[in-house]
């Protein structure tokens, strides 16, 4: 099959969250099972030049009176096409521009135009999140009337329902589309017009049909329930591999866990925490956003730092209020809390390896990759039972010794603290069971293999 995969961020070129990881790993996995997958993204100013060393000019294109170029890079057999319109993408911010509706409508249409220009007659155009939600609409209203595009099917993947892209429809009309309402919601267009809609975990696919999680689109989603499913994300198991990861101080495996501790000691030393391999360390690698359950953490972190024999390490970027709060606590408890604000891929890997437990008490979580990475690195996840967390983390049962983490149901700080303390109890008092729990997690299959096959089956069904 021919698949055009369109995303606003793709690792390793540009990443602000999990979408970038998916846009890297899924096409690669689909390629591995024999499909011709091409990935399309904007050429942002922020893409580091070392990723563009072998970039090649592909073609020139015109849209809305603007001429621009398209370039490509090959990586592991996948071709990445960059829409290179500097006036729109050579900006200091990726998503925070006032004309972002125009930026991404332009990008979306440019991709459709490019398909024709490079003669890539995709069976499926796979769109992701609000930035590319207009594609199914554009395909139906304009491009679908041409033979070349007529049979193209669209899959629209919701990675996060919260960010919908709501704008005045002026720019869509400016691009010549027939759109009556004054306002437009890009995600709504995707959900309404795509051949099939999916989200990134079975639990989230159910949750978004409810008022609580539905972000005001639950009724629309219900109307598409026959064409809606959840497919779990995976992680790239070559990139996230504690046996070979060059970001670690010491590599290790499920059967040789001893070296895992060297990472903890290194992190403690580097950030001035108490150096002691027997203190349990709880890691967090996260966007600093209320979605991630940071209110719960803020509610009880001080109490735990005062009372519990535990260390926390927080790597995060995002809202200033959380940064300020965690920094203040770090200054009060420097031997027990380490912080680093910003995005740092290498440090993230080290934290997954260094920590014994990984905390992710999300308010909602479409899939979540961090808990999968944590499992792979033997950092036992403590999560709230929502979305993909609910599908991937099973609470430890001390009688059957089944499970791979600790979970709690209600969005409640004390339920979370109780669960953290339960995990600390096992760490301290039942080291053999705790080791078994780590190994349960490390042995799980979090690769893209299963998910790629699920997407392949979905594409087949559509065409």
| 75 Cβ contact partners less than 8 Å away, ≥ 6 residues apart | none
What number of chain residues touch ligand ADP (CB under 6 A)? Answer: 18
Edge to edge, the sheet with strand 406-408 lists: 337-341, 311-318, 281-288, 357-360, 380-384, 406-408
Q: Is 348 in the site for ligand ADP (CB under 6 A)?
A: yes
Residue in the structure block whose two tokens are 């899924």: 26
CB neighbours (10 Å) of residue 79? 19
Nearest-approach distance from CB 25 to ligand ADP, in angstroms: 11
What is the spatial distance between Cα 369 and Cα 90, in angstroms, rounded to a whole number? 29
Q: What is the DSSP string of 259-300?
A: THHHHHHHHHHHTT----TTS-EEEEEEEESGGGTHHHHHHH
Q: CA 319, 10, 186: angle at the middle one, nearest 5?
A: 70
Mark the segment that binds ligand ADP (CB under 6 A) among 43-51, 280-288, 329-337, 417-425: 280-288
Mark the segment that binds ligand ADP (CB under 6 A) among 101-109, 163-171, 256-264, 369-377: 369-377
Q: Is 76 in the site for ligand ADP (CB under 6 A)?
A: no
Single residue of 46, 206, 317, 439 touching ligand ADP by CB under 6 A: 317
179 or 239: CB nearest ligand ADP: 239
What is the spatial distance between Cα 244 and Cα 253, in angstroms, rounded to a whole number? 9
CB neighbours (10 Å) of residue 17? 17
Nearest-approach distance from CB 128 to ligand ADP, in angstroms: 12
Single residue of 161, 279, 315, 458 touching ligand ADP by CB under 6 A: 315
Question: Which residue is closest to ligand ADP by CB?
Answer: 18
Q: Is 286 in the site for ligand ADP (CB under 6 A)?
A: yes
Which element (helix H / strand E) includes 149?
A: helix 147-150
110 or 350: CB nearest ligand ADP: 350
Mark the segment that binds ligand ADP (CB under 6 A) among 47-55, 319-327, 339-347, 438-446: 339-347
What is the spatial distance between Cα 308 and Cα 422, in angstroms, rounded to a whole number? 12
Q: Is 285 in the site for ligand ADP (CB under 6 A)?
A: yes
116 or 202: CB nearest ligand ADP: 202
48 or 53: CB nearest ligand ADP: 48
Q: Which of residues 7-26 bind ligand ADP (CB under 6 A)?
A: 17-18, 21
Mark the segment that binds ligand ADP (CB under 6 A) among 50-58, 218-226, 257-265, 365-373: 365-373
- The alpha helices in 336-430, defined as continuous H runs, are 345-354, 370-376, 387-392, 413-429
State how beta strands 66-75 and 56-63 pair: antiparallel
Single residue of 303, 306, 331, 345 touching ligand ADP by CB under 6 A: 345
User: Of 278, 280, 359, 361, whose CA–CA distance to 315 is shortest?
Assistant: 359
195 in Cβ contact with 223 (< 8 Å)? no
Single residue of 100, 287, 336, 376 touching ligand ADP by CB under 6 A: 287
Mark the segment that binds ligand ADP (CB under 6 A) among 49-57, 73-81, 363-371, 397-405: 363-371
Single residue of 73, 155, 294, 369 touching ligand ADP by CB under 6 A: 369
Q: Is 105 in the site for ligand ADP (CB under 6 A)?
A: no
Give the footprint of ligand ADP on this chain (CB under 6 A): 17-18, 21, 285-287, 315-317, 343-345, 348, 367-370, 373
């Amino acid at each position: 099959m021919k698949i055009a995969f369109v995303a606003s961020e793709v690792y390793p070129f540009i990443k602000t969250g999990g979408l970038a990881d998916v846009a890297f790993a899924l096409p690669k996995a689909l390629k591995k099972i024999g499909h011709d997958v091409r990935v399309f993204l904007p050429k942002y100013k922020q893409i580091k030049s070392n990723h563009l060393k072998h970039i090649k000019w592909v073609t020139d294109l015109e849209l809305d009176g603007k001429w621009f170029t398209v370039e490509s890079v090959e990586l592991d057999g996948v071709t990445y096409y960059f829409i290179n319109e500097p006036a729109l993408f050579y900006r200091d911010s990726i998503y925070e521009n006032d004309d972002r509706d125009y930026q991404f409508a332009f990008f979306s249409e440019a991709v459709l135009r490019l398909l024709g220009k490079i003669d890539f007659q995709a069976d499926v155009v796979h769109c992701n999140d609000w930035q590319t939600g207009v594609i199914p609409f554009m395909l139906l209203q304009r491009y679908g009337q041409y033979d070349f595009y007529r049979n193209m099917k669209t899959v629209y993947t919701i990675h996060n329902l919260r960010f919908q892209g709501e704008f005045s429809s002026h720019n869509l009309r400016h691009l010549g589309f027939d759109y009556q309402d004054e306002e437009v919601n890009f995600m709504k267009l995707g959900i309404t017009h795509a051949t099939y809609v999916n989200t990134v975990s079975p639990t989230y696919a159910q949750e978004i049909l409810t008022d609580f999680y539905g972000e005001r689109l639950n009724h629309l989603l219900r109307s598409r329930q026959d064409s809606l499913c959840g497919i779990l994300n995976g992680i790239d198991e070559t990139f996230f591999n504690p046996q070979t990861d060059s970001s670690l101080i010491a590599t290790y495996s499920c059967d040789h866990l001893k070296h895992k501790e060297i990472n903890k000691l290194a992190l403690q030393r580097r950030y001035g925490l108490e150096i002691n391999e027997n203190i349990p360390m709880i890691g967090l690698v996260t966007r600093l956003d209320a979605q991630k359950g940071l209110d719960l953490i803020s509610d009880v972190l001080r109490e735990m730092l005062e009372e519990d024999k535990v260390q926390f390490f927080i790597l995060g970027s995002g809202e200033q209020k959380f940064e300020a709060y965690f920094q203040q606590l770090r200054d009060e408890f420097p031997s027990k809390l380490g912080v680093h604000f910003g995005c740092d891929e290498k440090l993230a890997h080290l934290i997954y390896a260094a920590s014994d437990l990984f905390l992710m008490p999300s308010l909602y979580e479409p899939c979540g990759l961090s808990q999968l990475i944590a499992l792979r690195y033997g950092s036992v996840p403590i999560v709230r039972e929502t979305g993909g967390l609910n599908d991937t983390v099973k609470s430890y049962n001390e009688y059957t010794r089944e499970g791979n983490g600790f979970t709690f149901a209600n969005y409640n700080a004390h339920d979370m603290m109780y669960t953290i303390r339960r995990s600390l109890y096992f760490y301290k008092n039942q080291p053999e069971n705790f080791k078994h729990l780590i190994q349960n997690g490390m042995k799980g299959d979090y690769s893209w293999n299963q998910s790629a096959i699920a997407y392949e089956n979905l594409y087949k069904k559509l065409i």
